[in-house]
Amino acid sequence: MDSNHHPALQTPTGLGANATRDVTGALNALLADVFTLYLKTKNFHWHMSGAHFRDYHLLLDEQSDQIFAMTDPIAERVRKVGGATLKSIGHIARLQRIDDNDAEFVTPLDMLAELRDDNQRLAAAMRETHGICDEAGDVATASLLEVWIDETERRIWFLFESARHAESA
């Protein structure tokens, strides 16, 4: 038996076995990226410095809350379509596609640029996952992804404009 599927956890679903596997795999990788981006955004929020401290500190706090708000719905979609989801930090580390940043010091503008790029990667992964959901006929997950893509694009926009404003100030 597949180690990812215990009979007691197999939620009845209208999706076939292949669709469940594909959607579950895509969503678990996405969830690992979301947790990674959440922690990085909080890291930069906690370690922000400089002339625009208050604005950037509050911006990243707001963004981290929005990112964290995606975690439970993603995991619950995995369960609703009949899969099992992430169980540990180690599991996240094995699946994440967004890089950690353990640097002692990162400049405020580098923080904003890195988070902008990471959010762009996340949006691309969401679009790819949306395509997998379309192929599987999983319209409910696709609908959630559309909202999250819009939220991610808004974060990208705010990070881009905040960094641009700082450079010209």
Q: How far is residue 146 from each of residues 23, 40, 43, 119, 152, measured CA to CA in Å? A: 15, 23, 27, 15, 10
Burial 4-42 (b: 16+ CB within 10 A, else e): ebeeeeeeebebeeebbbbbbbbbbbbbbbbbbbbbbbb
Rounded-to-10 torsion of CA 68, 116, 119, 44: -30
Half-sphere exposure of 120 (CA within 13 A, CB side): 10
pLDDT in tens, 29-80: 999 999 999 999 999 999 999 999 999 999 999 999 999 999 999 999 999 9
* pLDDT band of 17, cuts 50, 70, 90: confident
Is the model's pLDDT at 94 over the cut of 90?
Answer: yes
- Listed by start position, the domains of the chain span 16-97+105-168
Quote the pLDDT of residue 10. Answer: 63
Rounded to a whole number of angstroms, the distance between the first and last alpha carbons of the chain is 60
Q: Is 104 exposed, middle or buried (0-12, 13-18, 19+ CB in 10 A)?
A: exposed
Tokens standing for residue 18: 């292949």
Split at pLDDT 50, 70, 90, the class of 2 is very low
For residues 120-133, give the mean pLDDT.
98
Q: Can you give the pLDDT at residue 169? A: 56
Determine whether 90 is exposed, middle or buried from the number of CB atoms within 10 Å of its CB (0-12, 13-18, 19+): exposed
- Token digits of residue 101: 């940043």
Level-2 CATH architecture, domain 16-97+105-168: Up-down Bundle (1.20)
How far apart CA 84 and CA 5 sit, in angstroms, is 7
- Model-level pTM? 0.91
pLDDT at 9: 59
Predicted local distance difference test score (pLDDT) of residue 5: 53
